[in-house]
A and B are shown apart, each in its own frame.
Chain A
């Protein structure tokens, strides 16, 4: 006899599986067996041809590396800029604070294309078009406002007494930041990093305008592939898109572990 609570649990797990995991698995299966169409999912033949195509295409490998590098750099710069900004907004009261807060939200309130066109001209002048640096900078636009928001609410939730406790134990502000605040802010830092990485990963227009086709990222070559008739390759490509944020999260989690153990053994 299965208890009612267990039944409920099974129901929710099943629903979760059907809605979130099954589609990804199905997509992976499609990349192996392009003929797999409902209801004959497992009747066709299967092979690794699509994955061979993907990994032998220099463009894809190049785009994959670019995407990861740009994503990581954007996350890092977001962190460096958003944390001080959020700290200032959360901990200090000053004249014009609401104004500054709304200015910081501007980039996501104004259509991105309008800004990108203007930025394009500026970047041509200073020679940042068609470069990784230019693309990284332009990716800050749709990400930084969110990063500041996420980090600010993190600081808001964190009572100032933690900092005071550290201070009365004789620890200066700078050290307190690294040994106490960052570990306590990890939940916010995690969501900030994942959010920023996924947004960066999804940029098409900004990358193509500023990168000028010279800086190739996954979204840029995703479209041409999507139009190709090879549905197995498209499926494989999509799987990469799904896996990339997960891999990023795993690596990021590893870095966090390293950081924490460094804090503790320092």
Chain B
């Protein structure tokens, strides 16, 4: 990518800073640093740190792209509202459906099938050899377990 070299040439042109190639390259560099942090986060091993680095950084990255690459923050309001409204709708969808789909038990009911998923997952692990990826699985996914048949519902 020759963008690096290009950027320093164009920075002197008449565009205000926020539209200059040099500015874009700077933002890109920040994005890459953030990517690195989010990759490093899980290495620390603390679950909350991982989640914050992974998703918090995703939000920050998204904001950077939206603001500096898509220029949504300087766009006419109508476009901002349209995008914002659709995002809000997704939050509405998630939080309104969560009581039904996310939870698997209530005062008077228990989703048996969902509990059986755990066994299902572990059973399907038998088809795959032990993990040989960069990350070792958090819990011992490869250890053999009596492959109990999934709860019969048919």
- A and B part of one assembly: no
| Residues in chain A within 8 A of chain B (CB atoms) | none
